[in-house]
Structure 1
Amino acid sequence: MRRRKSRSICLTRTENRCLLPVRTFSRGDSRWCYDIRKAYLEGSEHLKDDCLTIRCDVTVMKEIHGEEAMVPPSDLHQHLGDLLKNQDAAYLTFQVGAQRFSAHRCVLAARSSVFKAELLGAMEESSSGHIEICDMEADAFKSLLHFIYTDSVPPVLDVVMAGHLLVAADRYNIGRLKQICEDKMGNNIDANMVATSLALAEQHGCHGLKEACFQFLASPSNLEAMMASEGYEHLKSSCPSVFKELIARVLPAEWNAAKDIVMTMWK
């Protein structure tokens, strides 16, 4: 804590009456004094028999140099990450493809409402210590567990893995992870992945990602490249509604008749 030095001076006849106002002197002052004109004193009622009583109240505030306590940042994520890594008291196992993962029932339940319902509710998984997951890649599930325990994604998160994690995050209702993956995909759109990203955005309610894809496809060259990608046919078959919306947005407004004709193809 730092405090500045100060001086105050008050000229009085009695202890309750001040002739001059209180003045505070700080360290920045060039001199510590108070000028009083002779004429001012001679005309003052406080000057009696060439005598003047001066009262000075001086307060000195010293500088106090104390070491401030530095509170370290939270390391909870490190401890939970070590818990996952060391598998201490992990009595729950997941079989994902050929790989097996151990986890803690209470941690998963605390981080995901879906896991909570499955592991602590009346569902079959709640009474079993072994759960098999058939529709997710092992690497995606491993990254999902890593986020659940540490609240962070892998240091290197490519667009493909972001897509897998987005599906997993939506499945287990982990909103922050879903938003991270949506942002990652939306900021890295290219012609090869835009059809897949658009399909995922439609299926999992990612409105920001969907809009980013539409903006990318507003360019005729990007649209043409997307139509030559592997995900194009999947987009048409799996998301006919979003494909209709895409056609309505990319065709010029004056082509209304053409839009109507094209739309009938998917009725």
Structure 2
Amino acid sequence: MDSTTTASHNAERQGITGTPEQFVLGNRFPKTSTNTQQGQSSTNTGYKKTSSAKYNVELLKELANDFGYLLNRTDISDCWLNVNDTYMAVHQCVLAARSNTFSAIMSGNNSKLDPDIKKELQTLHKNDKLVIFIKKTDPEIMKQVIIFMYTAKCELNETNAFYLLDAAGRYDIKSLKVYTAQFLINHINRHNILRLIESAYIYNNILLKQSCIDYFIDHGREVMDVSELWKPFAEKYPAIVSELLYWTVHKDENRERVERSQLQSQW
């Protein structure tokens, strides 16, 4: 195959995986599978001689593109997510690999799941496929969650970041927890810190939790001055407030703890 043909096929695949949305079928249960694959060719990736690190990055990009392509293969999906009556075609093996919650639901080993989450994610089998009902996540947010599980990237902005953070915790998707936390720690302010720290504690998002503690140490008075937010939070989460105040008083201990944690993570 010549380089022109190779480039053409690569561009075609990039176009398919750039906005993988064919798996979202709207508010109808599919009666028959539709083959969305228009032809798959074996192509030479044509890697040029380059550094090992750069080559590894290119391989990861290729993997993400391939999984984005798989996301549009509704004809070989074995699972439907019914997200508030919007059906999304997915593959059990991908969801199980990326989400501890979905893995537990699919394997039946869900005794350790939060009762509220277990109650939400009811299942049934229909037309030889598993159907999982999702009621507490908006379809547009769930679409981005699925795209992330397949491709390790999704649309992330100040409007949807909180909802993606909640979904990452609810479905225990570790890499999405980090992805959303890294975005949100750059947008912490006195008006949103309590919402962030609530999520961080509920879902044990360590990165976000520590960033919120650090922010509170430096801006605690400003946070508490927003009384319409602080008062109900303090009444609902006295244990969290106690911890925040403890680290505010023991700043040096907190700094040493963070440095020790960072050092351990390097080994």
TM-score w.r.t. length of structure 1:
0.57
Give CA-to-partner distance per residue, 1:222-253, whole Å, 9 cap, x none. Answer: 63355427643553244221112223444699
Matching residue of 2:40: none
User: Runs of 4+ in structure 1 displaced over 4 angstroms?
Assistant: 249-253
Matching residue of 2:175: 176
Counterpart code for 2:132: I
Worse-superposed segment, 188-197 or 242-251:
242-251
Report the CA distance shift for 1:229/1:145 in structure 2 as closer, same or farther (over 3 A). farther
Q: Among residues 73, 77, 80, which one is paired with 1:90 in the alignment?
A: 77
Report the CA distance shift for 1:137/1:236 in structure 2 as closer, same or farther (over 3 A). farther
Structure 1 position 152, deviation (Å) = 1.7
Give the secondary-structure state (helix, strand or coil) at the position aligned to 2:75: coil
Worse-superposed segment, 126-135 or 181-190:
126-135
Give the secondary-structure state (helix, strand or coil) at the position aligned to 1:170: helix
Is the 8 Å Cα contact of residues 192 and 229 (structure 1) preserved in structure 2?
Answer: no
Report the CA distance shift for 1:137/1:69 in structure 2 as closer, same or farther (over 3 A). closer
Choose between structure 1 and 2: higher helix proportion: 2
Report the CA distance shift for 1:114/1:245 in structure 2 as closer, same or farther (over 3 A). closer
Q: Distance in 1 between matches of 2:100 and 2:243?
A: 33
TM alignment of 1:5-44, pairs within 5 A: none
Give the secondary-structure state (helix, strand or coil) at the position aligned to 1:247: helix
Q: Distance in 1 between matches of 2:75 and 2:134?
A: 22
Matching residue of 2:30: none
1:118 aligned onto 2:105: yes
Give CA-to-partner distance per residue, 1:148-182, whole Å, 9 cap, x none. Answer: 1112232xx22453332233223333222211222
Report the CA distance shift for 1:109/1:188 in structure 2 as closer, same or farther (over 3 A). same
Matching residue of 2:187: 188
Counterpart code for 2:82: Q
TM-score w.r.t. length of structure 2:
0.57
Matching residue of 1:136: 137
Structure 1 position 211, deviation (Å) = 2.6
Q: Distance in 2 between matches of 1:219 and 1:69?
A: 49
Q: Distance in 2 between matches of 1:104 and 1:96?
A: 15
The number of residue pairs the alignment matches comes to: 183
Give CA-to-partner distance per residue, 1:22-50, whole Å, 9 cap, x none. Answer: xxxxxxxxxxxxxxxxxxxxxxxxxxxxx
Give the secondary-structure state (helix, strand or coil) at the position aligned to 2:191: coil
Q: Distance in 2 between matches of 1:104 and 1:245?
A: 41
Q: RMSD in angstroms over aligned alpha carbons?
A: 3.2
Q: Percent same amino acid at aligned positions?
A: 26
Q: Distance in 1 between matches of 2:250 and 2:98?
A: 47
Structure 1 position 119, deviation (Å) = 2.0
Is the 8 Å Cα contact of residues 125 and 131 (structure 2) preserved in structure 1?
Answer: no
Q: Distance in 2 between matches of 1:113 and 1:126?
A: 19
Counterpart code for 1:246: L
Q: Distance in 1 between matches of 2:227 and 2:86?
A: 32
Counterpart code for 2:140: D
Q: Distance in 1 between matches of 2:96 and 2:216?
A: 40
Counterpart code for 1:228: V
Give CA-to-partner distance per residue, 1:50-86, whole Å, 9 cap, x none. Answer: xxxxxxxxxxxxxxxxxx9627833222122123235
Q: Distance in 2 between matches of 1:251 and 1:120?
A: 46
Is the 8 Å Cα contact of residues 181 and 208 (structure 2) preserved in structure 1?
Answer: yes
Q: Distance in 2 between matches of 1:225 and 1:192?
A: 7
Q: Distance in 1 between matches of 2:195 and 2:159?
A: 10
Give the secondary-structure state (helix, strand or coil) at the position aligned to 1:132: strand
Matching residue of 2:146: 145
Counterpart code for 2:72: K
Q: Which has the larger radius of gyration?
A: 1
